[in-house]
Chains A and B, each alone.
Chain A
């Protein structure tokens, strides 16, 4: 076997061997990015007076947001 192929196989082996650790590091990095501060802020936002206690039900059609089309929502809705 030519030395360059041997080197390639060796590199691949090393990559595979180290990948689980890298993956684990990546997972833990994301894991540690989850913060109670953000969670509490989000809960405070949802609980704020501007949402009026988030009672389900609406008479109004929501405005388009971020380009999400809403024109055909009515067709999907089962009217009571």
Chain B
């Protein structure tokens, strides 16, 4: 498949700079990263709302921006649809007028209606945007952006303000919509669920640049996971050494050690390990411990506890390391998980990712 979008650009924004290079085929690309990574600015530059300092952007073989030949096609001529996080529906126009906004010619009302019908908004033509529910507004914004048949659709965290079930339903709809219109989509999010359910391709962004560009199918290999979690500033990273003792591979650092899965590729020497937050298992003090977990048992104190979207996040301090653990809030109900409380936990050797120095740089 051919690249639809090719973009390389640089933009200085105060003391932050954006240095982005990405290619997108006819697929759903998810631009993923923590807030402040420069994701929204990237979309604004692609859409032509913000002009970069230098670089080159082309879409479907049309040159949209080229600093070396002073080409800058303005937003109105780019054929790029954009849905803002706040949706930006025109408050003074009806739903139908909003969707017809970017259309021209005598057929425009008919076309706008057929888009609304396809979005299951048949009875809402004459409503004003503030008379719609959150999910309906989302669908109007999508219909408005897609109606003029753009060559690329940019979505800036469009579902972030919605409740879980509605968000899932809209993701499914978006995926179906993509199958129908085949417009390449670049979707910005900091929600890992969006990545899992939508992406064909994932761009991981941090501090103004794309750290990793990978196919969604490769997302769950251990190295990618380490990159993703770490790009969110979340997950445990420990620097130490690999040693072989009693026929086992151990990862040791000043105050502790972890047993690793046996592997021929592991050699003794300096290394870094990454432990995804969902792989830290808490241990009930009075119950027997799984024999795989037993050798890796650690002791620590809960420093901070947070509840986010049905998950519990723990920061645990132990063996001179801050461990990040995350699990469903329905787990470990009988454990006392208060801040300041001691806790036992462990990690399966197979879920510890060993990073070579080279790989570690990209994770850092």
Does A pair with B? no
Which residues in A have some Cβ–Cβ distance to B below 8 Å?
none
